[in-house]
Chains A and B, each alone.
Chain A
């Protein structure tokens, strides 16, 4: 979906709808990925806790986007993507972070831009998440 959305940034809304509606599950791709890990599709489904029925039923659908979402999007006259929350950092957020890093690095000569960028990213997290990151990395270094 992320790859599709990256492409979509370049195109208009009508194309967006087309792309989103035609996101299908590729059984071939799943089988190939399973094979690369020396597993059968059945084995992977079992380990993932997904029933064969659910999987193959999904594979027969024209789109993996739920019908209800498509209907809401059509009623609102917006692309389905407008109803979804991007869990990956958006391009806008990344651009804003780079811009802010450059601004601070220029203003404070001698600062390491990597330190600036990492601090900016951490400031977007809750304090407890920042602490967990520091501890996880600190303790993994210690284990090595």
Chain B
């Protein structure tokens, strides 16, 4: 079993609070791919919010003693605090549609006590292809192979 301290009660509590506050969000990026079974590594959990001005985000942050750091000319928006240091805020996804459109390409996965929307692997692949950075190209093959395995498993 993987070390439970790396995504433990604090992080699960924050996600639970977001759900409780009815904040519209989804997990995207490589963390979403990993959740679906792709053998990838990642350093953060990317969260894509429908609206960063949703007051539920502030309330959820308050519950776990975190805070929101607004974007500046040099930095993107981010969270600060122990319970939320693993989370990154995503504002757009390369090659994909708007939040509402991509919401239709999600699955619900259980994380702790709540089910969270997770962007489907097919869409993560599409986004990585569109981004076209070296680090995206490196991981594409793994994601594509993993997708085939997952589809095989779903059919069987």
Contacts and interface: CB of A to CB of B under 8 A. Distances in A.
Interface of B: 1-4, 6-7, 12, 30-31, 34-43, 45, 86, 109-112, 118, 141-142, 145-146, 148-150, 152-153
The SS class assigned to the A binding surface is helix
Given A115-B145, A138-B42, 18 more contacts: A112-B145, A115-B141, A115-B146, A116-B149, A119-B38, A119-B146, A119-B150, A122-B37, A123-B149, A128-B7, A130-B34, A131-B31, A132-B4, A133-B2, A133-B34, A135-B86, A136-B6, A142-B43
Contacts, number: 97
A99 to B, nearest CB: 12
B39 A118 contact: yes
A137 B3 contact: no
Contacts of B38: 119, 122
A112 B138 CA distance: 14
B30 to A, nearest CB: 7
B156 to A, nearest CB: 9
A139 interface: yes
Interface of A: 104, 107-108, 111-112, 115-116, 118-120, 122-123, 126-139, 141-142
A112 B31 contact: no
B1 A129 contact: yes
A62 B42 CA distance: 50
A139 B39 contact: no
Q: Which of B6, B36, B42, B150 has the largest number of chain A CB atoms within 10 A?
A: B6
